[in-house]
C-alpha cells in the first residue's frame, strides 16, 4: 500500500522516537537475570522491526520516482 509522504514520514519519526524513549527509560539491567534480559531483547527486537517496517513501505514520492 502506498501512503502519502507526510503520513509515512510521521510513522518513521514515531517508530524511532518510541525506540529512543524505551532506551531512555531502561534502568540498570541485572545481567544475572535471564528473564529480564530476554524481555529487553524481545522489546528491542519489536521496536527495531517497527522501524524497518516504517522505512520499507513506499511513499507516494517513492512511487512517482519509479
31-51 confidence digits (pLDDT tens): 899 999 999 999 999 999 999
pLDDT at 62 over 70: no
User: What's the pLDDT band for 59 if we cut at 50, 70, 90?
Assistant: low
* CB-CB neighbours of 5 under 10 Å: 15
Question: Mean pLDDT, the chain, as a whole number?
Answer: 84
Instruction: Enter the C-alpha cell of residue 50.
Output: 517497527
Sequence-ordered alpha helix ranges (H) in the chain = 5-24, 34-56, 60-65
Angle between helices 34-56 and 5-24 (to 10 degrees): 160
- Whole-structure pTM value: 0.68
DSSP 8-class letter at 33: -
DSSP 8-class letter at 57: S
Amino acid at each position: 500500500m502506498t501512503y502519502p509522504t507526510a503520513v509515512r514520514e510521521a510513522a518513521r519519526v514515531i517508530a524511532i522516537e518510541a525506540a529512543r524513549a524505551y532506551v531512555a527509560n531502561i534502568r540498570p539491567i541485572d545481567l544475572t537475570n535471564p528473564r529480564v534480559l530476554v524481555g529487553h531483547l524481545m522489546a528491542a527486537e519489536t521496536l527495531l522491526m517497527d522501524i524497518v517496517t516504517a522505512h520499507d513501505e513506499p511513499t507516494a514520492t517513492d512511487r512517482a520516482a519509479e
